[in-house]
Amino acid sequence: MRILIVEDDREAANYLVKALKEAGHVAEHAADGDDGAHAAATGGFDVVVMDRMLPKRDGLSIVQEMRARGDETPVLVLSALGQVDDRVDGLKAGGDDYLAKPYAISELLARVEALARRRRPGEVETSYRVGDLVLDRLSHTVTRGGEEIVLQPREFRLLEYLMKNAGQVVTRTMLLENVWDYHFDPQTNVIDVHMSRLRAKIDKGQAKPLLHTVRGAGYMVREGLK
Amino acid sequence: MTSAAPAGDRFAAVLRLFRTTAVRLSLLYLVVFTVFSVFLVVVVTHDATRILTLQIHESIDADVEALQDQYRRGGLVRLVFALEDRARRPDAGLFYVVDTSGNPIAGNVAELPPNAVADDDPDPHLLDYLRFEGGKETRHVALVRAFALDNGFRVLVGRDIGERERLRAVFRKAFRYVAGLMVVIAGLTWWFLSRRVLARIDEVSHASRRIVDGDLSGRLPVSGSGDEFDRLAVGLNEMLERIGELMGGVKGVSDAIAHDLKTPLTRLRNRVEQALSDDDPEARSEALEAALDESNALIRTFDALLMISRVEAGRAVSAADPVDVAEIAHEVAELYEPLAEDEGGGLVVEAEGPLAVRGNRELIAQALTNLVDNALKHGRSDDRAPRITLSARRDGGRIVLAVADDGPGVAPADRARIFERFTRLEASRTTPGSGLGLALVAAVVRLHKGEIAVEDAEPGLRIALRLPAVA
């Protein structure tokens, strides 16, 4: 993937570029608002990571400009301000996701990958399949190897989100935001308990587990993890 | 030498006096009332004079007609008789008859100007004359009208206007009294304003000056009368109270940050040192991971601090959309129930919606998760996880959201303290946590104009949030 990083903090940007390269992406860096706007205008990026406060130009105005000319490249807005209102501002301006600084690099990677995937055509899928696990979004049923698994509504949404992002890391924060619609971190890690319950229903007694814990990052649904 | 103040100072003092509201208001009252009463007096005097003048005209016309009638019936003799008869009445008018050469032949007037009877104008006009009264001649003013008889004699009929002038004098006198009274009232107004009202304002400004000078514990005087100055003072005192709290909070927080963040920073430093000195790659990466965890915990603490100050600085949410707190309670319970069960406790939710409150869904949810989290951590007794009850119900105009556990509870003496930042009751501080959870709850409740109560759940702790319900 080609990723544009618009970030004025040189050290943070270098770290980010390095991490993205290690994850197998091509990262380009712009250090101020004007350069960022110019780079975004040349296009060809799969995802743009945009800092909100930049020298010369406000990051959100660049996003607005992109949307105004019909550029639908997914944008992840970064900001030192992490409150509800700031997130709403960021999304209103046309941003697709919002991440408050300081962030864990694994969190940023997971979100960038989720954004890039969101863009793929044929998005409206009525069912997801990973190995022999099938989730039918219309009938709200889940089967594994043909056998139905009964899930609570919240467990269903949890699995739905994980399967939508199958093969990719989903962080705990992403789960809280997308499944519970909470944009704060509870002090205790409540997500882990929900995940272990879900795992008990999905993977228990199965030869090949599908629900994996990615250490230091989050969770992933995937067939045959090495 | 203060006694010999220069003239300029005295002038300045007078200027200052005029700048006071008391003097300005008193002068304004004086001017307004004077204008009003002058207008009243002028109108009344004018109308009364007009009516009296009209009456005089009518009686003169009646006399003239009667005398002309007498003359037609009995000639000059009868006219003179009738005239003499009328002239002798106590409230007599003015009568005067002259012959063709202008010599007076009858009447009750001592002397008239020579041309007084020459005018044939039927409209009466003013005339100065001398009149016999008790054998003396006195000066009078009258309205008179003259007419000629067919033998060439002339007759003058008039009415004294002394009555009318006396009435006008009465009005003028009344006006002078009223004007005097007006000045007295203006003086009293000034006295009242300066003594009562301005003295209160002066007290308030002195008190606020003291507060500005650094005495933050000072408060504005409240007289207890409940007037607008009391209301103002009470409002300002509440503001001062809040400022004091915030100032105290800021000070407490900076002290607490210094104390509380030093420990994790020291631990972080030790881990990094350990990683640097260790040659075994596995032990090194373990130490680095521990360092990462420490720094994440520190970031979370700072996030929580920022969040609290954001919420505290936030404007009230009275304009926000209504949210259903029963639904929020169910969501939070659903989020925490598996965790509570896994730890061997339980989480029951008692909430029947909709229970509408104007506010922010996420903040209320976060406050509730903090309370549940707190109950899970501190509600343990003898290694048994607590059974937690999360309830929401309506109580009059309030919605009561409560989280209760059946743990050891909190001693009454410590109950107020638990909402302060970095308060952690266990001296050993072994339970993980930043000591900021309840401080955020308190800030959220304050933002929603609610109250917070710490109660005994017998056994256990119950924290109740009372938020204003949507009417």
Domains of chain B, each with CATH number or no CATH: 1-215 (no CATH), 216-313 (no CATH), 322-468 (3.30.565.10)
CB contact under 8 A, B362 and A84: yes
The CA distance from A215 to B443, in Å, is: 35
Same domain, A159 and A72: no
Specify the CATH number for the domain of residue A90.
Answer: 3.40.50.2300
Same domain, A67 and A107: yes
Q: Which residue among A118, A139, A168 closes a domain?
A: A118
Q: Is A49 within a domain?
A: yes
Q: Is the pLDDT of residue B205 over 50?
A: yes
Interface ipTM: 0.82
- Sorted by sequence, the CB contacts under 8 Å of residue B329 that are 6+ apart come out as B349, B351, B368, B390, B391, B392, B401
Instruction: Measure CB to CB from residue B342 to each of A180, A187, A193 and give the nearest one.
Output: A193
Q: What is the pLDDT of residue A123?
A: 60
Computed over every residue of chain B, the mean pLDDT equals 81
Q: What is the pLDDT of residue A81?
A: 63
The minimum CA-CA distance between B244 and chain A, rounded to whole Å, is 26
Who wins on pLDDT, A83 or B299? B299
> Is the CB of A105 inside 8 Å of chain B's CB atoms?
no
CB contact under 8 A, A187 and B437: yes
CB contact under 8 A, B360 and A186: no
Q: Is A158 within a domain?
A: yes
Ranges assigned E (strand) in B198-298: none
Q: Is A226 within a domain?
A: no
Give the mean model confidence (pLDDT) for residues B187-214: 80
Same domain, A70 and A106: yes
Q: Is A173 within a domain?
A: yes
Q: Which residue among A75, A98, A118 closes a domain?
A: A118
The pLDDT profile of chain A, 226 residues, written as one tens digit per residue, is: 899 999 988 888 899 999 999 888 999 999 888 888 888 888 789 999 998 888 888 888 999 989 898 888 899 998 876 555 677 777 888 888 888 888 888 889 999 988 887 755 556 678 899 988 999 989 999 999 888 999 999 999 999 999 988 888 999 989 998 899 888 878 778 899 999 999 999 988 888 889 999 887 889 998 875 4
Q: Is the pLDDT of residue B316 over 60?
A: no
Count of structural domains within chain A = 2
3-state secondary structure (DSSP) of residue A150: coil
Q: Which residue among A73, A90, A118 closes a domain?
A: A118
CB contact under 8 A, A186 and B369: yes
Same domain, A94 and A24: yes
Q: Is A99 within a domain?
A: yes
> Is the CB of B310 inside 8 Å of chain A's CB atoms?
yes
Same domain, A55 and A72: yes
> Is the CB of B314 inside 8 Å of chain A's CB atoms?
no
Same domain, A113 and A6: yes
* Chain B residue closest in CA terms to A100: B303
The minimum CA-CA distance between A179 and chain B, rounded to whole Å, is 11
* CA nearest to B433, candidates B368, B378, B356, B390: B378
The CA distance from A191 to B369, in Å, is: 13
Q: Please give the backbone phi and psi of residue A193, each rounded to the nearest 5 degrees, phi first.
A: -70, -40
Picking from A83, A183, A190, A215 by the largest number of B CB atoms within 10 A of its own CB, the best residue to mutate is A190
The CA distance from B132 to A58, in Å, is: 108
List the domain range (segments joined by +) for residue A177. 127-221
Ranges assigned E (strand) in B88-173: 94-98, 104-107, 109-111, 125-133, 136-148, 154-160
Q: What is the pLDDT of residue B433?
A: 63
Chain A positions touching B300 (Cβ under 8 A) are 185, 187
324-383 in chain B: CB under 8 A from chain A: 331, 334-336, 338-339, 342, 360, 362-363, 365-366, 369-370, 373, 376-377
CB contact under 8 A, A187 and B307: no
> Could you report the per-residue pLDDT of B166-175, keeping only the tens digit for each?
888 888 888 8
Same domain, A7 and A31: yes
* Chain A residue closest in CA terms to B290: A216
> Could you report the per-residue pLDDT of B120-163, keeping only the tens digit for each?
777 888 888 777 666 677 777 888 888 888 888 888 888 888 77
Give the mean model confidence (pLDDT) for residues B46-72: 87
Beta-bridge mates of residue B388: B347
Who wins on pLDDT, B302 or A225? B302
CB contact under 8 A, A187 and B299: no
The conformational region for residue A142 under phi > 0 = left, psi -120 to 50 = alpha, else beta, is beta
Q: What is the pLDDT of residue B2?
A: 46
Who wins on pLDDT, B274 or A122? B274
The conformational region for residue B62 under phi > 0 = left, psi -120 to 50 = alpha, else beta, is alpha
Same domain, A134 and A95: no
> Could you report the per-residue pLDDT of B411-456, keeping only the tens digit for each?
777 777 777 767 666 554 555 566 788 888 988 998 888 999 988 8
Same domain, A85 and A163: no
Instruction: Measure CB to CB from residue B303 to each of A82, A84, A154 and give the nearest one.
Output: A82
CB contact under 8 A, A186 and B303: no
3-state secondary structure (DSSP) of residue B128: strand
Q: What is the pLDDT of residue B391?
A: 93
The minimum CA-CA distance between B374 and chain A, rounded to whole Å, is 9
Q: What is the pLDDT of residue A9?
A: 87
Specify the CATH number for the domain of residue A211.
Answer: 1.10.10.10
Residue given tokens 């909470």 in the structure block:
A182
- Contact, B439 vs B301, CB < 8 A? no
Same domain, A19 and A99: yes
Same domain, A46 and A132: no
The minimum CA-CA distance between A185 and chain B, rounded to whole Å, is 9
> Could you report the per-residue pLDDT of B223-255, keeping only the tens digit for each?
777 777 888 888 888 888 888 877 877 777 677
Same domain, A106 and A8: yes
Q: What is the pLDDT of residue B425?
A: 62
- Contact, A147 vs A133, CB < 8 A? no
CB contact under 8 A, A82 and B296: no
Is residue B395 within a helix (H) or strand (E), and if so which, with residue range?
A: strand B387-395
- Sorted by sequence, the CB contacts under 8 Å of residue B34 that are 6+ apart come out as B179, B182
B408 preceded by a cis bond (ω within 30 of 0):
no
Q: Is the pLDDT of residue B352 over 70?
A: yes
Tokens of B383: 């290694």
> Could you tell me where the DSSP H helices lie in chain A?
10-22, 33-42, 59-68, 84-92, 105-118, 153-164, 172-175, 190-203
Q: Please give the backbone phi and psi of residue B423, each rounded to the nearest 5 degrees, phi first.
A: -75, 125
3-state secondary structure (DSSP) of residue B25: helix
Q: What is the pLDDT of residue B328?
A: 93
CB contact under 8 A, A188 and B365: no
Chain B positions touching A104 (Cβ under 8 A) are 296
Give the mean model confidence (pLDDT) for residues B287-305: 83
Burial (CB count within 10 angstroms: exposed 0-12, middle 13-18, buried 19+), residue B460: buried
Within 13 Å of residue A187, how many CA atoms lie on the same side as its CB? 24
Q: Is A145 within a domain?
A: yes
A to B CB pairs, distance under 8 Å: 50
142-201 in chain A: CB under 8 A from chain B: 154, 180, 182-188, 190, 193-194, 197
Chain A positions touching B317 (Cβ under 8 A) are none
The minimum CA-CA distance between B375 and chain A, rounded to whole Å, is 12
